[in-house]
Amino acid sequence: MIKKSFLVFFMAAFVPFVCKAQKFATKKGNIKFEASVPSFEEVAAENKTVSAIFNADNGEMAVLALMKGFRFKVALMEEHFNESYAETAKYPKAVFKGSLENFHLADVTEKPKQFKITGELTLHGKAKKITDTAMVSKSGNTIIITGDFMVKPADFDIEVPSVVSKKVADEVQVAYSFSLDK
């Protein structure tokens, strides 16, 4: 009997906290990547339809980018990216699951603050650990998370044929920007 009432007390005390989890989300996140080589044509693409969910209680973050949503300026480049390199029909999405270390919402202001971000990026059927820094700021009920990092196509088993390998950089710069609403 005591146990039962304790349980009720326990639930009454903690359930409101669980329900109040501060989740922020967006469906219009932005990811750009660039693998240009100087004096050759720009190799860059942008995806403006990236989904992201951020839990401000523990700093956990999940990002999902549909590969077909990456758009290039040159149609043939987009075709090659989809068909030959990233094989987007077979691997339609890129997923990042990770967290911002020591994140406390109270520390975040309108001025961007640096946080360490770690997690796993999965694309083209391969996963890779990413450790980098992200800038976080707040504007009203919106949390803005931005940053950039470098990846190698080889890390994800993406082969760039030798014919064009001179025109595509070995390291790809990925920049992201999410405005997450409560």
For the chain, give the number of residues.
182
Closest CA to 141 of 19, 24, 5: 24
Give residues 55-74 in contact with other proteins (rule: CB under 8 A).
62, 64, 66-69, 74
Dist CA 53 CA 29 (whole Å)? 10
Does 82 bind other proteins (CB under 8 A)? Our answer is yes
Determine which helix (DSSP H) or strand (DSSP E) holds 180, and give its type and residue range.
strand 172-181
- Identify the three-state secondary structure at position 77: helix
Does 142 bind other proteins (CB under 8 A)? Our answer is no
- Identify the three-state secondary structure at position 133: strand
Minimum distance, C-beta of residue 96 to other proteins, in the bound complex (Å): 11
- Tokens standing for residue 134: 């992200």
Q: Which C-beta is closer to other proteins: that of 89 or that of 150?
A: 89
Minimum distance, C-beta of residue 168 to other proteins, in the bound complex (Å): 16
Does 182 bind other proteins (CB under 8 A)? Our answer is no
Stretch that binds other proteins, among 14-22, 48-56, 120-128, 157-165 (CB under 8 A): 48-56
Does 51 bind other proteins (CB under 8 A)? Our answer is yes
Dist CA 83 CA 126 (whole Å)? 17
Contact set with other proteins (CB under 8 A):
25, 27-28, 48-49, 51-53, 62, 64, 66-69, 74-76, 78, 82, 89, 92-93
